[in-house]
């Protein structure tokens, strides 16, 4: 069984990214810059943002976090995004999700300029992805594909199942696997007899958002299991959507939680930021 160690893959990719960051600095006179907008005091979001800040710093990327109150109006949030859109020193913008329920994710996705969309989730960039011509790709699905690439797991011809259909993971994951020539089925909360799909899959990406949702009896021997879930417990321990310990003698390869998909999501964010910075610099020179 191969442990798909996203932490080590992310560390290697960050090291490989540093020369691009230094090259950008020497040509443009500043580092690539990521602005992160954090609304409210959600503890998990604060941890994610802190980890992103640390990763930026360690890679030489500038970052700034805008901490906004939970009761901020949609108009005020939109104005903050517009300020970042207009700032020529800002290469990437990320609004940390989820946001408080009174705010519109749709409005946020419309406001962020596609050329500054570090998360790859704006509607225009989603359209480019669907057309097979993405400028940047959503961070978690991209990170998963990088893990598979690193461990030389070729999904071409595989039967793939994606459990979950969110805009952040499920839908773009389905597209990226399909672009890599897997035959993909997307399952969700309304799917009848989910087990009949996962048991027949060569690779399963589980992004159900349900703690320890699937286990030994849900996967065939020799399958590749990617666990996107991240859940805490009263003891402070983290677990995923999959009962990891049940699959150690079943799966051919599996991501751990923590240390699997999470570090690669952040790594993809850094790579997207540098990619956007380079593209903006090229377009500016023209």
* Mean pLDDT of the 153-164 span: 98
- Residue 71 belongs to a domain: yes
Whether residue 156 is found in the same domain as residue 222: yes
| 28: pLDDT strictly greater than 80 | yes
Q: Domain containing 75 — which CATH number?
A: 3.40.50.10860
Please say if 119 is a catalytic residue: yes
Unique residue bearing structure tokens 């640390």? 54
DSSP state of 96: P
Q: Which domain holds residue 55?
A: 29-113
Report yes or no on 283 lying in a domain.
no
Distance CA 224, CA 105 (A): 33
Type and span of the H or E element at 57? helix 43-59
194 in the same domain as 251: yes
Residues 6+ apart with CB under 8 A from 131: none
Token pair for 177: 């696997």
Count of the separate structural domains present in the chain: 2
User: Residue 93 domain-assigned?
Assistant: yes
Specify whether the CB–CB gap between 241 and 213 falls below 8 A. Answer: yes
Residue of 62, 80, 91, 96 marked catalytic: 96
Rounded to an integer, what distance in angstroms lies between the CA atom of residue 143 and that of residue 104? 26
If one counts every other C-beta atom within 10 angstroms of the C-beta of residue 9, the result is 20
Kindly state whether residues 164 and 234 are assigned to the same domain: yes
Per-residue tokens: 55: 């990763």
CATH number of the domain that residue 197 is part of: 3.40.50.720
Q: Give the active site residue among 52, 111, 137, 171.
A: 52
Confidence of residue 210 (pLDDT cuts 50, 70, 90): very high
Task: Assess whether 76 and 181 both reside in one domain.
Answer: no
Q: Are strands 183-187 and 203-206 parallel, antiparallel or unpaired?
A: unpaired
Give me the catalytic one of 117, 119, 202, 218.
119
Last residue of a domain, one of 113, 128, 163: 113
- Asked if 214 contacts 206 with a C-beta cutoff of 8 angstroms, the reply is yes
Is the pLDDT score of 238 beyond 90? no
- Tell me whether the omega of the peptide bond preceding residue 39 falls within 30 degrees of 0, making it cis: no
146 and 106 part of one domain: no
Q: Locate 98 and state its tokens.
A: 């989820």
Domain membership flag for residue 21: no
CA atoms of 37 and 39, how far apart (whole Å): 6
Q: Is 79 a catalytic residue?
A: no
Tell me how far apart the alpha carbons of residues 140 and 110 are, in angstroms, rounded to a whole number.
20
Is the same domain home to 156 and 80?
no
Rounded CA-CA distance 207/228 in Å is 5
Residues 155 and 240 in one domain: yes
Q: By the 8 A CB rule, do 87 and 37 touch?
A: no
Same domain for 162 and 72: no
Regarding whether 99 and 52 lie in a shared domain, the answer is yes
Q: What is the pLDDT of residue 104?
A: 96
Confidence of residue 236 (pLDDT cuts 50, 70, 90): low
Average pLDDT value for the chain: 95
Task: Average the pLDDT over 107-123 and give the result.
Answer: 96
> Has residue 124 got a pLDDT over 80?
yes
Residue 3 predicted with pLDDT over 90: yes
Specify whether 164 is located in the same domain as 258. yes
Q: Are 203 and 223 in contact (CB under 8 A)?
A: yes
The three-state secondary structure class of 175 is helix
* Chain length of the chain: 286
Q: What is the pLDDT of residue 232?
A: 79
Q: Is residue 197 part of a domain?
A: yes
Quick check: 127 pLDDT over 60? yes
Q: Verify that 227 and 150 share a domain, yes or no.
A: yes
Q: State whether 211 and 104 are in the same domain.
A: no
Sequence-distant (≥ 6) Cβ neighbours of residue 222 within 8 angstroms: 202, 251, 252
Q: Does the residue 144 lie in any domain?
A: yes
Is residue 52 flagged as an active site residue? yes
Boundary-marking domain end, from 71, 97, 113: 113
What gap in Å lies between CA 52 and CA 268, rounded to an integer? 11
pTM of the model: 0.95
């Amino acid at each position: 069984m191969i442990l798909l160690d996203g932490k080590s893959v992310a560390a290697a990719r960050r090291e490989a990214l540093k020369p691009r960051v230094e090259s950008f600095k020497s040509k443009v006179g500043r580092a690539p810059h990521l602005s992160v907008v954090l609304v409210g005091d959600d503890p998990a979001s604060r941890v994610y943002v802190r980890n992103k800040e640390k990763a930026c710093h360690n890679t030489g990327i500038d970052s700034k976090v805008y901490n906004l109150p939970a009761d901020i109006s949609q108009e005020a949030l939109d104005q903050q995004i517009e300020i970042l859109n207009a700032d020529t020193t800002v290469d990437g913008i990320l609004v940390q999700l989820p946001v408080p329920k009174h705010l519109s994710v749709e409005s946020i996705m419309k406001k962020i300029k596609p050329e500054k969309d570090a998360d790859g989730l704006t509607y225009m960039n989603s359209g480019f992805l669907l057309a097979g011509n993405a400028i940047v790709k959503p961070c978690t699905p991209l990170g998963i594909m990088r893990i598979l690439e690193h461990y030389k797991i070729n999904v071409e011809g595989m039967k793939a199942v994606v459990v979950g259909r969110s805009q952040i993971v499920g839908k773009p994951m389905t597209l990226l696997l399909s672009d890599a020539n897997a035959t993909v089925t997307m399952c969700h909360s309304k799917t009848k007899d989910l087990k009949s799909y996962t048991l027949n899959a060569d690779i399963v990406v589980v992004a159900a958002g349900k703690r320890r949702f699937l286990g030994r009896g849900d996967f065939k021997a020799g399958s590749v299991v990617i666990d996107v879930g991240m859940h805490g417990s009263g003891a402070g321990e983290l677990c995923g959507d999959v009962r990891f310990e049940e699959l150690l003698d079943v799966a051919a390869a599996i991501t751990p939680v923590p240390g699997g998909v999470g570090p690669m999501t952040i790594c993809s964010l850094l790579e997207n930021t540098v990619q956007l910075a380079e593209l903006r610099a090229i377009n500016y020179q023209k």
